[in-house]
Amino acid sequence: MKIQENISLKPYNTFQIDKKARFFTKVNSKDELIAAIEFSKVKNIPLFILGGGSNILITKDVFALVVKIDITGIEVTKEDDEHIWVRVGAGEVWHEFVLKAIQNQWAGVENLSLIPGTVGASPMQNIGAYGVEIKEVFDHLEAINRDTLESELFDKEKCNFGYRESIFKNKEKDHYVISHVTFKLSKKTNFNISYGAINETLSKMGITKDQLTIKAVSDAVISIRESKLPNPKEIGNAGSFFKNPTISIEQYEALKKQYPDIPGYTQETGIKVPAAWLIEKSGWKGKTFGPIGVHKHQPLVLVNYGDGDGETIKALSEKIQKDIQKKFNILLNPEVNFI
């Protein structure tokens, strides 16, 4: 394990914010991860775990040991007639794992194609898209306890998954570091194509129901995402900046009278309203403020066009929050983590 000092984090975050880490290292195994945790204890410096850097906004230099998780590996650990269990290193690129699953005809993650980030971050965020969430294919994960340095197992119940939430974002925040995730994928297909524009895109691709495959679903999702979301290699961004809010049926019906075109999706806890619609309706879509702004095709995405600063992007997000709350009496919560 090599420890570096005063390293720029620009290559390691998709917003491309140029801030420095006091210490920086990459770890390729559980042993190296434990050694990094021990180093932070000896130096009495905070530990900051970094995956793909696709869900963070760095607003200042990071006075910590920044640990880039590069633990890789994809292995089948068990299978039966219907399912296959796949253990994946936390440092594997999420989309590369999805492509591997599709190549091997392992169904369940095709709707989650092209989501940025690493496998280790997927259960932390309970990532989801197009009607599917990680918790539906999750079996268990392995995580190093920062205090005891022991490896512990977390099953689905123990992870306490919620909407873009898990126990690792609240109760156990900063107490564990995920090293491996095991997914329970299916040998039989159960297509989920009713959400968003998947059906429409499949039709444009000339795919009929008889021709439907998990690769076709993945290709449709990739096409949709590429048409809406900017490539972070070209324009700095972290994908969806805000979570979609859920409001009461009463509030939704009241808003429906004022805004007849407001979309809503029934949930157990109320009506989920697309944050992108709220932001676009408020006139923020496509607005630029020097080197930063709101993306012209997807208002849910805040962007860094060049030398933007994390603090100014954070300030922009707060202005949008205040405006949405004033217009609709709805609080938008960020999906991105501020550093």
Task: Using 70 as the pLDDT threshold, list the residues of the chain that sit under it.
Answer: 195-196
**Which pLDDT does position 190 carry in this prediction?**
80
Q: Tell me the per-residue pLDDT of 25-49, one tens digit each, with 9 for 90 and over.
A: 999 999 999 999 999 999 899 999 9
Strands (E) across the chain are located at: 4-8, 20-27, 47-50, 56-57, 62-69, 74-79, 83-89, 128-129, 132-133, 138-145, 151-155, 176-186, 236-237, 246-247, 265-267, 270-272, 288-289, 292-294, 302-304, 337-338
Residue 335 annotated to the active site: yes
User: Can you list the domains of the chain with their CATH numbers?
Assistant: 4-69 (3.30.43.10), 74-228 (3.30.465.10), 236-338 (3.90.78.10)
In the structure encoding, which two tokens stand for residue 136, read together? 């539906």
Report pLDDT for 227: 81
Q: What are phi and psi of 327, to 5 degrees?
A: -75, -40
Catalytic choice (110, 133, 142, 335): 335
Catalytic choice (113, 136, 164, 223): 164
Catalytic residue status for 240:
yes
In whole angstroms, give the CA distance from residue 83 to residue 102.
14
Question: Per the residue annotation, which of 54, 122, 179, 240 is the catalytic one?
Answer: 240
Q: What is the pLDDT of residue 131?
A: 81
For this structure, is 110 an active site residue?
A: no
Contacts 24+ apart (CB under 8 A), 96-103: 98/218, 99/218, 100/74, 101/185, 102/214, 102/215, 102/218
Burial of residue 115 (CB within 10 Å: 0-12, 13-18, 19+) is: buried
